Structure 1
Amino acid sequence: MTRGILQALGGLGLFLLGMQLLTQGLRSTADDRLRWLIKRSTRNPLQGVATGCLSTAIVQSSSAITVLAVGFVNAGILSFPEALGIIFGANIGTTITGWFVALLGFNLQLDEFAMPLVLLGVIFKIFGRGKCEAAGTAITGFGLIFVGISTMQLGMAEFRGIVTPEIFPSDTIPGRLLLVLIGVVITVVTQSSSAGVAAALVALHANSISLNQAAAIVIGMNLGTTFTAMLATVGGNVQARRTGFAHVAFNSLTAIGAFFLLTPFLDTVAALWPGAEANSPELVLVGFHTFFNMIGVIAILPFTRTFANLIERMFPERGNLLVKRLDKNQLSTPVAALDAVSATIHDILQVVFHELSRWLRQPAAVTDEQLALDIEDALDQTQEYLQAIPVQAEDQITDHAFLACVHTLDHLRRVNRRLQDQARLRTCRAEPDLSNMADKLATACERIAEEEFPLSPEQAEAYHDINHQLKTDMRTFREQAVSTTAHGKLTPSEAIKHMDAARWLRRIGYHVWRVAYHMSAQTNEDTPDFKQK
């Protein structure tokens, strides 16, 4: 009996390892395409459901898709209701693993192809590079999944006649509630509902539990995944907390519905497919798993925006709103973290240049000291977050995006510090020629604050032209100031003061151009697309 327990647990471990390797390999192989699919195919919650379902089926990990969705919300690519659609769809997509196990795991001689698959995958992983190596990881994981199932079956065979449905809670309301609790505990321990469902299928196939008992356990496993979701929000920003709570609320409501739909579902299956419970209980179980998740999505989908608004009110944004997108949980995914940094930079940029434009046109305007402090704090926090992103030098796309963010932050910080110089602002407005230069710069600031990023090379070039014009105007003004001073119409101290103000304007124009350049496609054609929602 001890041998059977160890064998079954070892099989579960192999299954978990296989799932991890499969997910890791598929994500490495399809990550760029997956990000493109989610960004381009999600325009409303319904599309989000389809995208979430398909994406989860591809990478075999609802957690990975949830993390991506949170990252896109942080980057401003998706709205929160759209991200909810993806999370709902991921709940359906994660049931694909159960269909895999039910259709292939018990109807084929697993040992005949699983071991060769593992060998093939290891060869690809050892000798391959890039996508080939990632494919080897996925193949190895796929093979280990079925090795794990086969090992669990051998372990469960040791318990025939010992572990029977009679030793589990009976098929009553209290009994089912206990079984649901067992399912929750299994998922919390294994941190994988897919592994739990696979174990339930193996136990059902071995007649160790009945179909009703297995279904109640699967309901608990579906609910248990929310524990992982809540853990993932620890230390996260408000978007992560909203997503985690939405996951908990949705899965809890779905579990309640599934609990009361279990008997009607089994009665309907018995009427439409006589003998299914006896001949194909595994298919009935995974069918129920998919069914109640689909019912949950169908029921909540029309109310997604209302649901999202409720959660947003429960978790309001606090603190410095300029850094609301920065989420420490995203740091393990450099591309998602850089998306969040880029979107944060755009938020800061809008505030800085709107304020600069206002002050250039109205130097007597009251300075918002709290806003100035918030901007400086946001720049500091964004820089710290950027430094924590683990970018690999060989990854040229993320490396270029990283450097673009570093340069842009530096120029924004310089602009923000120049904003504090009210004396030069007043000098600019007191001199007509400088006032004209200030108007040109104010117009450029208004334009860049309203732009969508990344800018095209042509747009960035337009800001270069503005900078060049300011440089020319400054030289002309300096020559005129020297000439006026020579003729005694201006004192040397006044001339120096005016020329200093002209240089100040010209330097701001330079920083505006460099911000435009570094946030443009010519810096990196694959700069994250963080069009704001």
Structure 2
Amino acid sequence: MTEQILLILGGIGLFLFGMKVMTEGLRDAAGGRLRRFLSRFTTTPLRGTVSGAAATALIQSSSATTVMTVGFVGAGLISFPHALGVLYGANIGTTVTGWMITLLGFKLHLGTIALPGVFVASLLTLLAHGHLARIGRIVAGLSLLFVGLDMMQEAAGTFGDLLTPERLPSGGAWAQLKLAGIGLVITVVMQSSSAAMALALVFLGSGAISFEQAAAMVIGTNIGTTVTALAASVGGSRTMRQTAVANLLFNLGTAALAFPVLIFGGGALAGVAGAAGAQTALVLFHTAFNLAGTVLFLPVTHHFAGVVERLIPEGDAGLTAGLDEALLKDEGAAMDAVQASIRRVAGVSFEALGRALAVPSDTRALAALPGKTGPALAEIEAFASRINIPEKRPEAQERNAALLHQLDHLARLNSRLGVRSMIAVVLADPELSRPARYLGELLRRVAEAGQAGPLADRLDWVEELVKHRSKRHRRAVLLHEHVGLITVNEMFDRTDAMRWLKRVTHHVERITHYDRAAGTAGPGAP
């Protein structure tokens, strides 16, 4: 019996490892296209549901879909109600694993065929590059998954009297709740609802548990998959905590729908199991109650979002809200968070400089700027340094480079804004005051919009104007000092002010330029 227990544990291990390898391979193969599809198509909760289901079915990971979505919300690409639609869809998409196990693993018996598949996939992974290597990882993961499934089936068939339906709770609502609790614990221990579902299907196929018992356990696995996300969200960003709580409430709602069907509709479910097979009926039940929950929640998504936002109110997160450790699992979501934080710091800096260059000049916000932006920039830099970009991901590498350049120019801009004495000299100079005030007006508008957008071209023009006027005005200042119209100190003040305005304008233009470059490579690309 010890051998069978070790065999089933080894099967679970191979299944989990195969799922991980396959998910990573599918995610690498999808690349940025999946992110762009998810961010663009999620314009309503209904479309979010469809895109969330499709994305999760494609990459076989609801947690990866959720992390991407949290990054989109933090970056302002989609709203929280739309993200809830993706959450509903992810719960539907994750049931595809059960169908794959049932149709391919049990009905077609691919476990034996998977062994040579592991050999071929290992050769592709070791010897090939690019798309072939990714295909190798996907095939390797899928093959290991089916090999692990075969091992679990072999071990479960020899359990004999150790595990039978009579040894587990049965009959009545309380027994169903106990079984759901068992499913929840198994899911939390294995950190995978797909593995828990596979285990339930294996034991159901071997006759170790009845259909009703397996169905109750599956309801528990659906709730158990939210516990991991809930624990991971503790201490995370507000969006991550809201998403985890919303996922828990949604799955509790679907469980509330599934339990009455299981308790009072046992005869109908038994009929389906007799006609289609117990394992197929179990997967169908899993899909059906997730679909039913989605149909129930979709019409009230905005109200549901309001409830969650009241449960997790917005705190004083500062300029670096959204820099969540969990987002580092997905480099795209992490870069979304970095770009959103950079935009907030740039917005505060632009607004402070815009007020200082206005008429009348107000430098109070500029004086308070170092205390706000200094710690925020340090935190963003520390977070950005931990983003790991996989090899042969040129789009992601270009976007990351653009964000680092933008961060560098933002730090340089804030350093120059610390020299506030230059502002009075610039505004007092007839040649420099006009472009400076025009720059201030543009910066106030950019700060209001949250990003440069169509104003970026005007910033290019302002930079050229400042360069031209500074070059021409420098000669005039030197000439005025030469003929004695101004003192040497006044000459140095004016030339320093010219240089300051030119560098400030350059940093502003570069910040908006790299914001567009990072956006072009990101999910919100036009």
Measured against the shorter chain, the TM-score band is over 0.9
Aligned to 1:407: 405
Asked if the contact 2:64–2:330 (Cα under 8 Å) also holds between the matched residues in 1, the reply is no
Q: Distance in 2 between matches of 1:2 and 1:486?
A: 98
Q: Distance in 2 between matches of 1:120 and 1:326?
A: 41
Aligned to 2:288: 291
Partner of 1:496: helix, strand, or coil? helix
Aligned to 1:131: 131
Q: Distance in 2 between matches of 1:237 and 1:111?
A: 42
Q: Distance in 1 between matches of 2:154 and 2:405?
A: 60
Partner of 1:229: helix, strand, or coil? helix
Deviation of 1:408 (Å): 1.7
Deviation of 1:121 (Å): 1.9
Amino acid at match of 2:354: S
Aligned to 1:105: 105
1:359 equivalent in alignment to 2:356? yes
Aligned to 1:301: 298
Asked if the contact 2:347–2:450 (Cα under 8 Å) also holds between the matched residues in 1, the reply is no
Change (3 A) 1:322 1:279: closer
Q: Return the TM-score normalized by structure 1.
A: 0.91
Q: Distance in 1 between matches of 2:132 and 2:500?
A: 54
User: 5 Å matches for 1:132-531?
Assistant: 132-269=132-269, 274=271, 276-277=273-274, 280-362=277-359, 364-365=361-362, 367-368=364-365, 369-391=367-389, 395-446=393-444, 448-449=446-447, 463-521=459-517, 527-530=521-524
Partner of 1:414: helix, strand, or coil? helix
Change (3 A) 1:505 1:108: closer
Aligned to 2:29: 29
Q: Is there any run of 5+ residues in structure 2 with no aligned partner, and where?
A: none
User: 5 Å matches for 1:14-163?
Assistant: 14-163=14-163
Deviation of 1:210 (Å): 0.9
CA RMSD across the alignment? 2.5
Partner of 1:146: helix, strand, or coil? helix
Q: Distance in 2 between matches of 1:435 and 1:482?
A: 19
Partner of 2:107: helix, strand, or coil? coil
Amino acid at match of 1:413: A
Asked if the contact 1:317–1:324 (Cα under 8 Å) also holds between the matched residues in 2, the reply is no
Q: Distance in 1 between matches of 2:391 and 2:53?
A: 34
Q: Is there any run of 5+ residues in structure 1 with no aligned partner, and where?
A: none
Change (3 A) 1:316 1:525: closer
Structure 1 residues 299-353: Cα deviation after superposition (integer angstroms, max 9, x where no partner)? 1112212222222233233344221121122223223212221222122222211
Change (3 A) 1:371 1:81: farther
Q: Distance in 1 between matches of 2:189 and 2:91?
A: 19
Deviation of 1:444 (Å): 4.2
Asked if the contact 1:235–1:329 (Cα under 8 Å) also holds between the matched residues in 2, the reply is no
Q: Distance in 1 between matches of 2:265 and 2:368?
A: 60
Q: Return the TM-score normalized by structure 2.
A: 0.92
Deviation of 1:42 (Å): 0.8
Q: Distance in 2 between matches of 1:530 and 1:491?
A: 53
Q: Distance in 2 between matches of 1:130 and 1:238?
A: 37
Partner of 1:261: helix, strand, or coil? helix
Amino acid at match of 2:229: A
Asked if the contact 2:211–2:278 (Cα under 8 Å) also holds between the matched residues in 1, the reply is yes
Amino acid at match of 1:415: L
Amino acid at match of 1:290: T
Change (3 A) 1:211 1:488: same
Q: Distance in 2 between matches of 1:275 and 1:503?
A: 80
Q: Distance in 2 between matches of 1:74 and 1:362?
A: 35
Q: Distance in 1 between matches of 2:203 and 2:377?
A: 55
Change (3 A) 1:497 1:33: closer
Q: Distance in 2 between matches of 1:145 and 1:407?
A: 43
Structure 1 residues 105-129: Cα deviation after superposition (integer angstroms, max 9, x where no partner)? 3323334422232222222222221
| Matched residue count | 525
Q: Distance in 1 between matches of 2:516 and 2:110?
A: 53
Structure 1 residues 399-423: Cα deviation after superposition (integer angstroms, max 9, x where no partner)? 3322322222222223223334333
Q: Distance in 2 between matches of 1:394 and 1:281?
A: 45
Partner of 1:291: helix, strand, or coil? helix
